[in-house]
Amino acid sequence: MRLSYLAVAAVLLLTGCNTYYQNQYQTLLVRTPGVENAYCHMYTQKNQYLVLSTRHIIVDRSRYPLTVLCEKDGYYTASVIVQSHFSAPYAPMNIANGFVGATYDTLSNSIFAYPDTITLILLPKPPQKLPPEHKPYVVKELEPAPAPAPAPVKSAPPPAAADKSLNKSLQK
């Protein structure tokens, strides 16, 4: 009887060593339809990534949600929080996996996965009004000022008197 209990315990322990092996990395594609080369920042509780849209990136599998934030000039910023889920092949194997294997898979994060493709829609910003254009400064040349009119002489001697005084000075 004691031997049968040991045999059952050994069988249960050995089935627990069956692990679902999938590496701890996953390849993702971030898409932004209609907008190419948008900068997409990806964050988990432990890691940060930067990728251009329409490109693949390799990320660590994690039980934590993945926040994706995409931005590009002329468009509003778009963001999404992607929850991780159990990998599809892991669910049927979970029954035969046992406690030890499930614990190992959980700690190594190999049972978690994100969707293979993450799509964000970037909406265009409305056109901005440009500031008013400054007209170039125009320098006008001023017309020269008219020459001042000669000031009238108020106490000028008559011309005959001037000739007389001139003749006197020449005679001497």
Q: Which letter, b or e, does each residue of 11-42 get, where b requires 16 or more Cβ atoms within 10 Å of its Cβ?
A: eeeeebeebbebeeebebebbbeebeebebeb
Q: How far apart are CA 145 and CA 135, in angstroms?
A: 29
How far, CA to CA in Å, does 124 sit from each of 12, 29, 59?
A: 59, 22, 29
pTM over 0.75: no
Q: How far apart are CA 166 and CA 106, in angstroms?
A: 131
Structural domains in the chain plus CATH codes: 22-119 (2.60.40)
Q: What is the reported pLDDT for 147?
A: 83
CA 62: distance to chain centroid?
25
Q: What is the reported pLDDT for 65?
A: 94
With a cut of 70, which residues of the chain have pLDDT below it? 1-22, 87-109, 153-154, 156-157, 172
Q: What is the reported pLDDT for 117?
A: 95
* Bridge partner list, 25: 60
pLDDT tens digits, 62-110: 889 999 999 999 999 999 999 988 765 555 555 555 555 666 666 666 7
